[in-house]
Structure 1
Amino acid sequence: MKLFLSLALFAAFLLCPTACADGVREGLSLAAVQALPALFPFFVVSGLLVRCDTARLSPLLAKPLSRLYGLPPEAAPALVLGLIGGYPVGAATACALLSEGVLSREAAERVNRFCNCASPGFCIGLVGLGVFGSAQAGALLYGIHIVSALIVGLFFARTPLSAVSQRIHNRNRTSFPSIFCASVQQAASTALTVTAFLTMFSILLRLLSPVFALLPYGNVLDGMIELTNGLDELTELPLPRRARLTLASFLLGFGGLAVQFQVRALAEAHDLPVRGLFAAKLLHGTFAAVLTAFLFSLSPAVLTVSSPELTPISVRFRYTLAVLFVSALYPIWGWKKRRK
């Protein structure tokens, strides 16, 4: 099978040089214009936090991480940066925590399954304003995206970490210039990995686009390959607003194969297992789609598409987001306490 796929790719590259060249240009443009400007600062920050004593910075997260997910407080940087930094900042942080001896392999594997999320800027700017013409719709999709990720994490935290896996190795104390240089170098390596996979999957998308065009609503499959291009295609689908919002929510949770292979490449470079990653992302997308459809059915106006101009997020809408987070997390907290 591996040989067949390799030969198929080789034949496709030989037979479709124009499509390959267009894919390379699109992938490099996507990395340079959209991905790296948003991700690179978080790559550097994650490296700095990993090399500092982050346990003292996360006392508020220590109890939730332990009760809900069975994780030590040192996992907080991977979770927090993964929720706000964008794909694949969470994976890069988890790998750095593992390589620095801050997290065990078991703990890093657990947090890596649900800490890779889209950034708020991506959801509000590209999805909300770019696809649906509404900043509020994008903000609500981001809220649903985060809640779904936190719920997915519970499915992989049913067993406590072993006593051996909770041990943390002592790290050598180094100066800030040293950890800054190491963080920038690590960020550059991660950025190169992201660029390579965005380029490769843009080529694959170019090669597969004629096949997808023959299928009904085949444009949706673009997002399963590469997320950004797939979301752009949603504007062309002759579907009602509710269906397109639900599809966008699913694609944000699933992340696309390009993102998943970025996570896999970073993990395997640090000898971090990636078992269950595809299932976790599929579950993430399913939960996000169900929550979106449910919320839309309760109040269609909450995802109203307005003009393409930036619409301010009102206090009332922020209150709606806060209620969504609390209402989703409170029963989860009670369920975990009852299990104890």
Structure 2
Amino acid sequence: MPWYNKIGIIVRFILLSAIFALMLQYPASILQAALRGVGIWWDVLFPSLLPFFIISEALLGFGIVHGIGALLDPIMRPLFRVPGVGGFVVAMGYASGYPVGAKLTTRLRSEGLLTREEGERLVSFTTTSDPIFLIGAVAVGFFGSPALALPLAIAHYGAGLLLGIMMRFHAYRTPPTSATSHLSTRTADHLVSRSSSIWITAFRAMHIARLQDGRPLGTLLTQAIQSSLKLMMVVGGLVVFFSVMMELLSSAGIMKAWDYMLRTVLSWMHLPESLAPALSGGIFEVTLGAKAAGSAEGADLRMQVTAAAWIVSWAGLSVHAQVASLLNESDLRYTPFLIARFIHGILAGLFAYLLFPWLAPYSAAWSAFLLPTTQLEPHTTWAWVVHSLQWGGYLILGIGSLLLLASCIVRIIRLLR
């Protein structure tokens, strides 16, 4: 065994022993943190993510994703250098939030619909917050202002799409996958040669993918529910783990030292030092960081929104761990995702800071449309399911319509040539 592997084992043993000792020293705090993590998982993540997991698995089995891929291929490849099936991941990821984009990307990679580099590009810009959390929890619940929904949404999702265009240069020399790489040679030739209509091609791709899957409806739904519940248990365990870790660091005084270092860095950069708790909490967990950004005293609203945009786009190490656990099921690498999260956070913060003076006068008018008249903290009840599906459907329809329109425009331009 190499010497650096031995050192790594020793370091991990020391860290785990220290964590275990702290858990024995602060049992009451650990219990409260674990209950808080379970509450977040049960009240927020479970009802909001499980329907999207099951629906996405069913759509893959029915071949609908393959049909969408054939329709969106003319627009997804020029913009993001990913196959058309990436459009489905974009719509589902942006509508349902992290880590749905990583889950779908890993599934598409396992079916051979993406190369490794295409999967890394796709998961990098489809890991975003869902609109209900961004609008209902952050803008209304933490900041107490529905008018902030517009600048936060444009900064977060606009920076995500710009990141997707930037990520097209990741592994630029690697060859892309073909639109029919998941099919047999005879089937692919038959699909390409039979029709020049993109709509008929999409329908045939969906039909062939369904025939190749071959699972009955009952078996398909049963397996979709089983795999989704298994993934939800992993997500819940990671949420509880990071909730406990944050409480341990706070009880041991480590977070205070980290806050002091961040305050020093912020003072050097001539930024409000009161944002240090928000940034330090946001590095680990997005909810704690966004809540601290909304209550930061001594910072103007523009800087608070900028910090919240960075925190939501960075997503926190808790989400990073969820995504990493999904990527480990395939050959997709975590490092490109980590770099992309950092770039997304910088872009979102920059967008929020620059666009805030321009969007603030119009935010109040848009807030009535963006936010339904519900509770200020919709994640406290099971009404979250209804609102997540409602706004998820709106976002899927909107993104899907834009991608389909762009695909038709590209197709018309090519025919005119």
* Fold equivalence (TM over 0.5): yes
Q: Which residue of the partner structure matches residue 37 of structure 1?
A: 47
Unpaired runs of at least 5, structure 2: 1-10, 185-211, 264-273, 371-397, 407-417
Equivalent residue for 2:290, pick from 211, 228, 231 = 231
Asked if 1 retains the 8 angstrom alpha-carbon contact of 2:61 and 2:213, the reply is no
TM-score, length basis structure 2: 0.69
Q: Which residue of the partner structure matches residue 234 of structure 2?
A: 193
Q: Which residue of the partner structure matches residue 336 of structure 1?
A: none
Distance in 2, matches of 1:224 and 1:89, equals: 20
Q: Which residue of the partner structure matches residue 379 of structure 2?
A: none
Q: 1:290-320, CA deviations, whole angstroms, 9 ceiling, x for partnerless residues?
A: 001000133543456x9xxx95128xxxxxx
Q: Which residue of the partner structure matches residue 261 of structure 1?
A: 321
One-letter code of the match for 1:283? I
Query: CA 1:246–1:179 in 2, change beyond 3 Å: closer, same or farther?
Result: same
Q: Which residue of the partner structure matches residue 168 of structure 1?
A: 182
User: Displacement, 1:79?
Assistant: 1.8
Asked if 1 retains the 8 angstrom alpha-carbon contact of 2:286 and 2:316, the reply is yes
2:125 aligns to what SS in structure 1? coil
User: Displacement, 1:60?
Assistant: 4.9
One-letter code of the match for 2:72? L
Q: Which has the higher contact order (CA 8 A, sep 6+)?
A: 2
User: Displacement, 1:86?
Assistant: 0.8
Q: Which residue of the partner structure matches residue 63 of structure 1?
A: 74
Q: Which residue of the partner structure matches residue 162 of structure 2?
A: 151
Among all aligned residue pairs of Structure 1 and Structure 2, give the percentage whose two residues are the same amino acid. Answer: 25
Distance in 1, matches of 2:24 and 2:104, equals: 38
Distance in 2, matches of 1:149 and 1:299, equals: 18
For this pair of structures, how many residues does the alignment match? 313
One-letter code of the match for 2:345? G
One-letter code of the match for 1:182? Q
- Summarize the alignment of residues 10-159 of structure 1 with structure 2, pairs less than 5 Å apart: 10-53=20-63, 54-158=65-169, 159=172
Q: 1:162-212, CA deviations, whole angstroms, 9 ceiling, x for partnerless residues?
A: 256873256433232222112111111111111011100101111223433
One-letter code of the match for 2:349? A
Distance in 1, matches of 2:70 and 2:139, equals: 34
Distance in 1, matches of 2:110 and 2:141, equals: 38
TM-score, length basis structure 1: 0.84
Q: Which residue of the partner structure matches residue 380 of structure 2?
A: none
Distance in 1, matches of 2:238 and 2:25, equals: 21
Equivalent residue for 1:8, pick from 18, 35, 51 = 18
User: Displacement, 1:262?
Assistant: 0.3
One-letter code of the match for 1:175? P
User: Displacement, 1:58?
Assistant: 4.4
Q: CA RMSD, aligned part only?
A: 2.6
Q: Which residue of the partner structure matches residue 283 of structure 1?
A: 343
User: Displacement, 1:16?
Assistant: 2.3
Query: CA 1:151–1:4 in 2, change beyond 3 Å: closer, same or farther?
Result: farther
Q: Which residue of the partner structure matches residue 358 of structure 2?
A: 298
2:369 aligns to what SS in structure 1? coil
Query: What stretches of structure 1 move > 6 A for 4+ residues in a row?
Result: none
Q: 1:77-104, CA deviations, whole angstroms, 9 ceiling, x for partnerless residues?
A: 2222111111101011111222233333
Q: Which residue of the partner structure matches residue 254 of structure 2?
A: 211
User: Displacement, 1:7?
Assistant: 3.0
The structure with more helix, counted as a fraction of residues: 2
Distance in 1, matches of 2:231 and 2:150, equals: 27
Asked if 2 retains the 8 angstrom alpha-carbon contact of 1:31 and 1:195, the reply is yes
Distance in 2, matches of 1:233 and 1:44, equals: 33
Asked if 1 retains the 8 angstrom alpha-carbon contact of 2:293 and 2:305, the reply is no
Q: Which residue of the partner structure matches residue 266 of structure 2?
A: none
Distance in 1, matches of 2:367 and 2:77, equals: 39
* Range with bigger deviation, 264-273 or 63-72: 264-273
